Amino acid sequence: MKKIIEGLAYVLGNDIDTDQIIPAEHLVYSLSDPEEKKNYGKFALSGVPGDQAGLPNGNVSFTEGENFKSKYSIVVGGKNFGCGSSREHAPACMEIAGVRAVIAQSYARIFYRNSVDGGFFIPFECDTRLVEDIKTGDDLKIDLTENTLTNKTQEKTYDLKSLGEVIEIIEAGNIFEYARKTGMIAS
């Protein structure tokens, strides 16, 4: 069975930190209140400087107006994506905004683990510097079975690094659900 993720690309540069992903001033909302939780999606990636947002196209907003869902479901980044503090709100806000996958050259380790352990989205890695090839708004397709990314807009395909066992955690929903499913902790 093929597992596919499709969506529009939102392209960022190197060293996108957690303060850019969700600025500290927006960490005041409750994740357990459905209405307040929407604010995390609304302000996702709102701290990214204009010269980084939507590269190489310039300043492109991730969400529009009062919307908390973005039309971009695949984020493409450079090196050291998610550096900065260890706040779990960073990957959470991206999931709330509708992100299904992030593809970067490399990640800050704590951001990567928070993304996987929370089951927020799939953090792929790619040796190719995709931010040079892919443009914000390109139509992308990720094949989880083949570990490939296809830019349908430009008709180019790239190899992604294998996710290994982390895909099982994400598919289970989070690290605790995975532990229950595999018998590591009681149900």
Give a yes or no: residue 78 inside a domain: yes
Give a yes or no: residue 168 inside a domain: no
Give a yes or no: residue 180 inside a domain: no
Write the DSSP string, 70-123: -SEEEEE--SSBTBS---THHHHHHHHTT--EEEES-B-HHHHHHHHHTT--EE
Strands 4-11 and 101-104: unpaired
Give a yes or no: residue 120 inside a domain: yes
The model's pTM is 0.92
3-state helix, strand, coil in the chain (%, to 5): 25, 20, 55
- Identify the domain containing residue 63 by its residue range: 4-162
* C-alpha triplet 42, 43, 49: angle, nearest 5°: 135
Classified as helix, coil or strand, 27 is coil
* C-alpha triplet 92, 125, 123: angle, nearest 5°: 20
Give a yes or no: residue 179 inside a domain: no
Two structure tokens written together for 126: 């790619």
Give a yes or no: residue 38 inside a domain: yes
Q: Which residues pair with 75 in a beta bridge?
A: 10, 102
Give a yes or no: residue 187 inside a domain: no
- Which pLDDT score, from 0 to 100, does residue 147 have? 96
pLDDT digits (tens), the chain, 187 positions: 569 999 999 999 999 999 999 999 999 999 999 999 999 999 999 988 876 666 555 567 899 888 999 999 999 999 999 999 888 999 999 999 999 999 999 999 999 999 999 999 999 999 999 999 999 999 999 999 999 999 999 999 999 999 998 999 999 999 999 999 988 888 7
- Which pLDDT score, from 0 to 100, does residue 95 have? 97
Give a yes or no: residue 58 inside a domain: yes
Number of domains in the chain: 1
Q: In Å, how far are 34, 35, 44, 155, 172 from 104, measured between CA atoms?
A: 30, 31, 17, 20, 23
Task: Give me the CATH number covering residue 121.
Answer: 3.20.19.10
- Which pLDDT score, from 0 to 100, does residue 73 have? 98
Contact between 97 and 66 under an 8 Å Cβ cutoff? The reply is: no
